[in-house]
Amino acid sequence: MGWCRSGVCRALALLALLFPLREMGGCWGLNPSSGDLENSQHSDPDPWEVLHRHRRSWVWNQFFVLEEYTGNEPLYVGKLHSDVDKGDGKVKYVLSGEGATSIFTIDENTGDIHATKPQAVDRITNIPVEPRSEFVVKVQDINDNEPKFLDGPYLAGVPEMSPLGTTVVQVAATDADDPTYGNSARVIYSIIHGQPYFSVEPKTGVIRTALPDMDRETRDQYVLVIQAKDMVGQMGGLSGTTTVTVTLTDVNDNPPRFTHKNYQYTVLESLPVQSVVARIKAADSDIGSNAEMDYRIMDGDGPSIFNITTDEETQDGVIILLKPLDFETKSSFSMRIEATNRNIDSNFLSSGPFSDTTSVRVTVQDVNEPPVFSSPLSKMVVSEDAKMGTSIGRVSAHDPDTSNNAIRYSIDRNTDLERFFNVDALSGVISTAKPLDREANSIHNLTIFAIESQDPNQIGKGIALITVLDINDNAPVFAIDYETLLCENAMPGQVIQTISAVDKDEPLSGHRFYFALAAPVAGNLNFTLRDNKDNTASILTKRGGFRRGEQPVYRLPVLIVDSGSPALSSTNTLSVRVCDCDSDGVALSCGAVAYIATGLSTGALLAILGCIITLLVMVLLIVTMRRRKKEPLILEEERDIRENIVRYDDEGGGEEDTEAFDMVTLRNLNVIRDPNVRRDVTPDTPTFFHYPSTTRPAYKSLPDNVVFREFIWERLKDADVDPSAPPYDSLQTYAFEGSGSVADSLSSLESLSTDSDQNYDYLSNWGPRFKKLADLYGNSDSAGVFS
Query: What pLDDT sits at residue 358?
Result: 94
What is the arrangement of strands in the sheet containing 206-209, beginning at the earlier edge strand?
167-170, 206-209, 198-200
Cα(418)–Cα(440) distance, integer angstroms: 12
pTM of the model: 0.42
C-alpha–C-alpha distance, residues 345 and 58, integer Å: 79
Residue 578 lies in a domain: yes
Range of the domain at 101: 62-140
Residue count (the chain): 787
Tell me how far apart the terminal alpha carbons of the chain are, to the nearest angstrom: 147
* Cβ contact 336:358 at 8 Å: yes
488 and 584 together in one domain: yes
**Among 249, 269, 285, where does a domain finish?**
249
| CATH code (residue 451) | 2.60.40.60
Q: 585 and 502 in one domain?
A: yes
- Top-confidence residue, 724 or 469: 469
**pLDDT score at 71:** 65
Do β-strands 282-283 and 293-300 pair in parallel, antiparallel, or remain unpaired? unpaired
Domain count, the chain: 5
Average pLDDT over residues 722-727: 68
Query: In this structure, what is the dihedral angle of CA atoms 773, 774, 780, 785, given to the nearest 10 degrees?
Result: -40
| Residue 287 shares a structural domain with residue 328 | yes
pLDDT mean across residues, the chain: 77
Any domain includes 99? yes
Give dist(CA 340, CA 252) in Å, integer. Answer: 12
Percent of the chain surpassing pLDDT 70: 69
- Residue 655 domain-assigned (yes or no): no
Model confidence pLDDT, tens digit, residues 128-162: 766 665 555 566 667 788 899 998 899 999 998 89
Burial of 538 from C-beta contacts in 10 A (0-12 / 13-18 / 19+): middle
- The DSSP call for residue 491 is P
pLDDT above 50: residue 19: no
Per-residue pLDDT, 765: 73
**Number of other CB atoms surrounding residue 723 within 10 Å:** 7
In whole angstroms, what is the distance from residue 35 CA to residue 56 CA?
A: 8
369 closest CA partner among 438, 286, 248, 450: 450
User: Edge-to-edge strands of the sheet including 429-432?
Assistant: 391-394, 429-432, 421-423
Q: Are residues 227 and 266 in the same domain?
A: no
- Looking at the fold, whether 515 and 413 belong to one and the same domain comes out as no
Confidence of residue 716 (pLDDT cuts 50, 70, 90): confident
Do residues 181 and 141 touch, judged by C-beta distance below 8 A?
yes
Q: pLDDT digit string (tens) for 239-266?
A: 899 999 999 998 888 889 999 999 999 9
User: What is d(CA 93, CA 481) in angstroms, rounded to the nearest whole number?
Assistant: 135
Count of beta carbons in the 10 Å neighbourhood of residue 729:
5
Distance CA 500, CA 430 (A): 41
The C-alpha angle 80, 63, 9, rounded to 5 degrees, equals 105
Beta strands in 565-643 (DSSP E): 569-581, 587-590
Pair (510, 576) in one structural domain: yes
Q: State the sign of the Cα–Cα–Cα–Cα dihedral 504, 505, 507, 513.
A: negative
Nearest Cα neighbor of 421 from 395, 391, 400 is 391
Residue 106's pLDDT band, with cuts at 50, 70 and 90, is confident
Q: Are 350 and 261 found together in one domain?
A: yes
What pLDDT does residue 672 have?
Answer: 42
The answer to whether residue 180 sits within a structural domain is yes
Residues 488 and 586 in one domain: yes
Handedness of CA 388, 394, 395, 397 (dihedral sign): positive
Picking from 418, 452, 469, the residue at the C-terminal end of a domain is 469
Percent above pLDDT 90 for the chain: 39
What pLDDT, on a 0 to 100 scale, did the predictor assign at position 351?
73
Compare 306 and 655 and report the one with higher pLDDT.
306
Q: How many Cα atoms within 13 Å fall on the side-chain side of residue 277?
A: 32
Question: How much is the average pLDDT of 736-755?
Answer: 52
Residue where one domain finishes, among candidates 565, 590, 615: 590
Question: Phi and psi (nearest 5°) for 750?
Answer: -80, -25
CA distance 77 to 54: 27
Q: Looking at residue 726, what is its pLDDT?
A: 66
Confidence band, pLDDT 50/70/90 cuts, at residue 602: confident
**Are 583 and 502 found together in one domain?**
yes
Considering the domain architecture, whether residues 105 and 178 belong to the same structural domain is answered as no
Indicate if the alpha-carbon torsion angle 657, 662, 667, 673 is positive or negative. Answer: negative
User: Pick from 310, 305, 312, 309: which is nearest to 329 by CA?
Assistant: 305
pLDDT of the residue at 245: 95
Residues 104 and 94: their CA atoms lie apart, in Å, by 11
What's the pLDDT at 577? 93
Which amino acid is present at 242? Answer: T
How far apart, in Å, are the Cα atoms of 633 and each of 16, 629, 647, 682, 686? Answer: 144, 12, 10, 11, 19
10 Å CB burial of residue 122 (0-12, 13-18, 19+) is middle
Predicted pLDDT of residue 236: 77
Torsion over CA: 156, 160, 164, 166 (sign): negative
| Whole-angstrom distance, CA of residue 706 vs CA of residue 712 | 10
**Domain-embedded: residue 9:** no
pLDDT for the residue 392: 94
**169 within a domain of the structure (yes/no):** yes
Same domain membership, residue 340 and residue 309: yes
pLDDT band (50, 70, 90) for residue 346: confident
pLDDT tens profile 661-704:
444 444 444 444 444 444 444 444 443 334 443 344 444 445 55
Report yes or no on 534 lying in a domain. yes
Q: Based on the domain organization, do 266 and 321 belong to the same domain?
A: yes
Task: State the number of CA atoms in the 13 A half-sphere of 335 facing the CB.
Answer: 22
Provide the residue type at 39 as one letter: N
Beta strand ranges found along 386-441 (DSSP E): 391-394, 397-398, 407-411, 421-423, 429-432
Rounded mean pLDDT of 647-654? 55
User: In this structure, is residue 213 part of a structural domain?
Assistant: yes
Burial class for 378, CB neighbours closer than 10 Å (0-12, 13-18, 19+): buried
